[in-house]
Amino acid sequence: MQTAEQINLIRRISWALAKASAEDCLDTPGEFVWAYPNNSQFWEVRARSHSIFSSGNAIKDSTVIDFVNSLSLSEHLRDCWIVNKFQEAFPSWIAAGTRYRLHNLDQFRYVGFSQGTQESFLNWYMMHKDKRLRVFRGDYWWHMEIWQKAGFNWRYIDDDFDIQPGDACICSLPFALTGQEHERFKWLVEQCDRQGVDLLVDFIYLPNSNNVVDIDLSADCIKEITFSLSKTFPVQTAKIAVRMLKHKPSDPMQMSNDENICNRLSSGLALSLIQQFPADYMVNKYLDQQQHWCERLGLQPTGVVHFGLGNDYTATGRQQETNYLSRYNEQQNRYNLGMLYENQNLLKNLQLY
Amino acid sequence: MNLALKFKNIQDCNGLPNIRIVINDAVVFENTVCPLITVQCHPVDNKINLSIEHYGKDPSTDTVVVNGAIVQDRSCELDTIEVDGYDLQELKWLSAYHCDDDSVLDKCLFFGKNGTWRIAFELPALKWILRTRHEINRNDPNWSEDYESYVSACRLLNKSI
């Protein structure tokens, strides 16, 4: 798919951005803790160069960052209604996105702030602890890592296509690995409906998606759907997510929400963000960039604006860290292009654009 | 080349240890030892022979022995060697201490007897470190390609290597 020249360019960009990060000269500074180089020497830069295209993290859009910097968040700590305000505002905000269609979203009447989708997932695992947990290979590695560590019974759907009544399934839409609908997603919904199996649909990348999601959420099996602002806006570490259910849940997360002890700082930030920016803000702003970089690097554009698909970027020049953070992380063909969008001026100056 | 040598456990006994640092036959430092010695020089050759001579110690006056045990001894230990900002770390052990009495102590960073500690390396230090580590451990087959990528990135950004 990619030429040797394009692979070489990918390598040069990785090293240049990694060094620029270490020298604090990115156009948009600020990294996530696990990726931040401790110094500007070779080994730290090499480690950072390995993760330039990994992760699904949001584009660090400077307009959003400036907006977040202008907010006074501490006032939300004293607002006992702030979480409710966000929960009430979120469904219409997400439904107003113009680049996807969620039919029968209104059936999900129970909306809860979630401390990242991870909180929702943990509660879902707990409430399905006696089931065999199922996921497609290439979906969010965190599920499998936790299941393995905690001793859950689980199996990839790809390794056993027989969905049974004792199963419980999770699937991201768009699918995390490809940025498109998983080729067996509709089949999975049918199977789950037929077998009475719960299906959690994880809309982690939905706001950044472009015409790849058109789903009828009325299917009985779809009991729960989750959303996140972490992949939409550069607020990952604020852990802002939402889960929506057709029936009121009875689990630890709901108990905490009923107690009104949710994170008000994050809820306040989330409310401000959705009042200021439409759900498809990033797609509208960066679709041209996706086209540019996919052509330049020989990648196939995906339905998620900050992803492109190409050769496994760990296949050349890497013996270690080929599965970033987890052996279940099998997303090395998916290039997160966010850092290229964020550092357009730098890359132009370096003649790497 | 920027060289930074750190010494530890510096023992004064009738005076501090005298050392003479020589790079490719040129004396770049000659004085009593101190915890940090930095040297800037511009060797013509990329192959560097670094030696540190410990001299002028008289065991009869500069070592105190009580009941057969040394209770005071003019001495010091070389702790770290940094070349152009890169710590040689474990590669400092690729050295030897040549005592004036003709004995040779491999992997010895202790400057007790009069003698000369020697190590040989090459510039750029980073390249030598990567290559040497791979030659010893056989665990970094991509070191050369990564080194070149790193140097290109540094040049592109006009930053030091």
Q: Examine the pLDDT at A317 and tell me if it is beyond 60.
A: no
Asked if the Cβ–Cβ distance from A46 to B146 is below 8 Å, we say: yes
**pLDDT reported for residue A319:** 58
Among A204-218, A219-233, A328-342, where is mean pLDDT lowest?
A328-342
Nearest by Cα to A246 from A269, A272, A213, A218: A218
Asked if the Cβ–Cβ distance from B141 to A318 is below 8 Å, we say: no
Q: In angstroms, rounded to a whole number, what is the distance separating the alpha carbons of residues A133 and A156?
A: 8
Q: Percentage of chain A surpassing pLDDT 90? A: 89
**pLDDT reported for residue B94:** 97
Write out chain A residues lying below 8 Å of B152, CB-based.
Answer: 12, 15
Write out chain A residues lying below 8 Å of B145, CB-based.
Answer: 317
Please say whether the dihedral angle defined by the alpha carbons of residues A240, A245, A248 and A250, taken in this order, is positive or negative: negative
Among A62-76, A241-255, A300-314, where is mean pLDDT lowest?
A300-314
Q: What is the pTM assigned to this prediction?
A: 0.90
Q: How many angstroms away from the CA of B127 is the closest CA of chain A? A: 10
Asked if the Cβ–Cβ distance from A19 to B130 is below 8 Å, we say: no
**pLDDT reported for residue A325:** 76
Find, in chain A, the residue whose alpha carbon is nearest to that of B86.
Answer: A41
- The string of DSSP letters for A27-79 reads SS----GGG--SSSSHHHHHHHHTTSS-S-PPP--HHHHHHHHH---GGGGG-
Asked if the Cβ–Cβ distance from A19 to B142 is below 8 Å, we say: no
Interface probe, candidates A15, A48, A346, chain B, greatest B C-beta count within 10 A: A15
A160-163 contact pairs (CB < 8 A, 24+): A163/A134, A163/A188, A163/A191, A163/A192, A163/A194, A163/A195, A163/A197
**Residue ranges of domains in chain A:** 4-55+290-314+336-349, 73-276
Angle at A227 between CA A197 and CA A48, to 5 degrees: 115
Report residue B68's pLDDT band, with 50, 70 and 90 as the boundaries. Answer: very high
Map tokens 């299906």 to a residue: A199
**pLDDT reported for residue A267:** 98
Q: How many angstroms away from the CA of B115 is the closest CA of chain A? A: 34
- Partner-chain residue, chosen from A18, A45, A319, that has the shortest CB–CB distance to B141: A319
- Collapsed DSSP state (helix, strand, coil) of residue B96: strand
Q: Which amino acid is at A230?
A: S
Structure tokens at A348: 């132009």
Report residue A320's pLDDT band, with 50, 70 and 90 as the boundaries. Answer: low
Asked if the Cβ–Cβ distance from A350 to B156 is below 8 Å, we say: yes
Question: Is the CB of residue A83 less than 8 Å from the CB of residue A113?
Answer: yes
What is the value of ipTM here, to two decimals?
0.89
- Collapsed DSSP state (helix, strand, coil) of residue A343: coil
The contacts of residue A215 (CB under 8 Å, 6+ apart) are: A101, A102, A103, A173, A201
Q: In angstroms, rounded to a whole number, what is the distance separating the alpha carbons of residues B103 and B106?
A: 10
Asked if the Cβ–Cβ distance from B149 to A15 is below 8 Å, we say: yes
Tell me which H or E stretch contains A206.
none
Q: How far is CA A326 from CA A317, B57, B159, in A?
A: 19, 57, 33
Arithmetic mean of pLDDT, A23-37: 85
Q: In angstroms, rounded to a whole number, what is the distance separating the alpha carbons of residues A118 and B138?
A: 40
Mean pLDDT for chain A overall: 94
Q: Examine the pLDDT at A206 and tell me if it is beyond 90.
A: yes
Question: Is the CB of residue B103 less than 8 Å from the CB of residue B97?
Answer: no
Structure tokens at B87: 């710590």
**Residue ranges of domains in chain B:** 2-123, 126-161
- Collapsed DSSP state (helix, strand, coil) of residue B45: coil
**pLDDT reported for residue A315:** 63
pLDDT digits (tens, 9 = 90+) for B74-127: 999 999 999 999 999 999 999 999 999 999 999 999 999 999 999 999 999 999
* Phi (first) and psi of residue A126, to 5 degrees: -60, -40
Q: How far is CA A314 from CA A103, A328, A331, in A?
A: 39, 15, 10
Q: Which amino acid is at A45?
A: V
Give the count of beta carbons closer than 10 Å to the beta carbon of residue A270. Answer: 29
**pLDDT reported for residue B22:** 98
Question: Is the CB of residue B54 less than 8 Å from the CB of residue B114?
Answer: yes
Fold of A73-276: Aspartate Aminotransferase; domain 2 (3.40.640)
Give the count of beta carbons closer than 10 Å to the beta carbon of residue A19. Answer: 28
Give the count of beta carbons closer than 10 Å to the beta carbon of residue A152. Answer: 18
* Angle, helix A141-150 to helix A116-127, in steps of 10 degrees: 50
CATH of domain B2-123: 2.60.60.40
- Pairing mode, strands B18-23 and A300-301: unpaired
Arithmetic mean of pLDDT, A137-146: 96
* Phi (first) and psi of residue B62, to 5 degrees: -105, 10
Report residue A311's pLDDT band, with 50, 70 and 90 as the boundaries. Answer: confident
**pLDDT reported for residue A300:** 96
The contacts of residue A64 (CB under 8 Å, 6+ apart) are: A233, A234, A235, A273, A277, A281
Q: In angstroms, rounded to a whole number, what is the distance separating the alpha carbons of residues B155 and B161?
A: 8
